[in-house]
Chains A and B, each alone.
Chain A
Amino acid sequence: MEMGSGNGVLQREQSIYNSLDESFEIQKEMYRGQQYSQIYFARLHLMRTLLNSLLPTWKPHLSGCAVLGLEKGKECIIVGTLYKHMKLKPSILDEYSKERSASPLVQPHNFMHSDDYLVLEDESGRVMLRGDHLLPSVCVTGMVVALHGKETGAGDFLVEDILEAGLPHQIELPLDHGEDKFVVFISGLSIGSSSANPLHFQLFVDHITGHLGDEKEQGIAAQIVQVVIAGNSVEFSRGIFNGQNLGSKDQSRLSEPIKELDILLTQIAAGIPLDIMPGATDPANFALPQQPLHRCLFPGSAAYNTFRSCTNPHSFELDNVRFLGTSGQNIDDLAKYSDAENKLEFLERTLRWRHLAPTAPNTLGCYPFTDRDPFFIEKCPHVYFVGNQDKYETSLMKGSDGQVVRLICIPRFAETGTAVMLNLRNLECYALSFGTQFGS
């Protein structure tokens, strides 16, 4: 940390930023009426090539075969996309069904049922999966795995072992330079909603821009090199969207949250590099990958070159430390269709499956790519974050090849008043909480 000699002026640390969002941008894509079969094919091919290269080390005595080429009783390996048949998954056809069967009440937050079963599919065919090794509660539709087992008499496939793609290769973390540099993550500001307290965010902005505290506090704030806002920065009141044309009064009410956000972001952008990602409630497109929020929404902050509007998912490098993260839609979707102890486990699973959003396009909106799958994780990040979660959670995940990944669940700021600070030097993570309640 540099201190200006004599006059006590603190200099903010700086980092070299490199954006890796190119694969998430869809400006060059042209929609020609293609269906989602194309992206599934691209995903299957990409991951099957990868899994086939791992087969010799996994089961050297066996080779892969197509689903249609299975022979009864013969041990073999099949590679394909998993499909999970879920009884409770909402289907548009339910509206048209004539019988009102006494189906169990659908819980809105999770559609799992003990009767769910898995099916493996490749270009040639599908086969139902049996066995205790592959739990339907853990898997979701859209993940690509290699399975070792044999076909049973009933025509199902009895699974004996599973191979996931595993963590990709990771470039080693740059050497410890001895200087602490911090990245601040915040998400779920929800400006415009009734639960957001503007004081909390103003306190946050004042703290990180160094307008608060004594020299020691300001010194800590001077070490912040990047702010990442991971989605859901605004929330529009749904009441005005009732299918009628908006009157001018409603229209001006609609733009208030964004204007308020812009004022606050200008304060941040004036001093620190800022990345803002779109979320589920932001004025961006619905399908993943969400495109950057338009610059015209931020007339004040976009004037600064420190302001960067980014895609969701967002990938970037800061001083050669690789970051990858989303605004939460992918993990929330996994939570609806599978089970885990906590959100960090979902993060781990997506890394091990080497795919950011396996449920896209099945239950998660997604652009119908034809020749690539941008959610495939090519290089292992050092920091993997997800925004808009219930609470702050973090862990350090270790891979089989020596990869080390810091997993971060960023809580919703409007509800918890908590942001996350990450030390670039050693990947240590801290919670930064703000409160304006003075308890009795």
Chain B
Amino acid sequence: MASSDMKGFFRQKKKSGISKPKSSKKSSKPKHSASCGSDIVQPPALVSHGSLDLQDEYDGKEEVLRQFDMNMAYGPCLGMSRLERWERANALGLHPPKEVENLLRTGKVNTECLWDGRV
């Protein structure tokens, strides 16, 4: 346990170790981007779902959706899909941005909120 080699500590590398069917995990795999940089400084707690946190697909669209998640005016974001939360905000007359709705309905974006699967 005193080894500083994180890769040895976590036998969760895709190439070796437990072989899980990749396709079943793909749709529910959340996109973690809590750290930017190398995975050597990755704290253990953030490694989950059999993959290390990678800075992947964190683009402008995701940024817009994250700002929508974080906006307190539309209520808490945990426990609901983003589209549901948008629809609730719309039904309550809060005028959520149309852009977010378009992204959620048509774009290939993460449907669940930022904290999904991490809290």
Contact = CB atoms under 8 A, between A and B. Distances in A.
A370 B73 contact: no
Q: How large is the interface on B (under 10, 10 to 19, 20 to 34, 35 or more residues)?
A: 10 to 19
Contacts, number: 42
Contacts of A46: 92
Contacts of A32: 79-81
B91 interface: yes
Nearest to A370: B80
Contact of A37 (B78, B84, B88, B91): B78
Contacts of B88: 42, 370-371
A123 B78 contact: no
Contacts of B91: 371
A371 B73 CA distance: 14
B75 interface: yes
Interface in A355-375: 368, 370-371
B76 interface: yes
Interface string B62-102: 00000000001101101111001001100111100000000
A35 B75 contact: no
Nearest to A45: B92
A57 interface: no
Interface in A100-139: 123-124
A125 to B, nearest CB: 10
Contact of B80 (A34, A45, A123, A124): A34
Contacts of A33: 79
A35 B78 contact: yes
A379 to B, nearest CB: 20
A267 B106 CA distance: 59
Given A370-B88, A371-B91, A34 B78 contact: yes
A45 B91 CA distance: 11
Contacts of A370: 79-80, 84, 88
Contacts of B80: 32, 34, 38, 370
B110 to A, nearest CB: 15
B72 A38 contact: no
A124 B72 contact: yes
Nearest to B72: A123
16 contacts: A32-B80, A32-B81, A33-B79, A37-B76, A37-B79, A38-B75, A41-B75, A41-B76, A49-B93, A123-B73, A124-B72, A370-B79, A370-B80, A371-B84, A371-B87, A371-B88
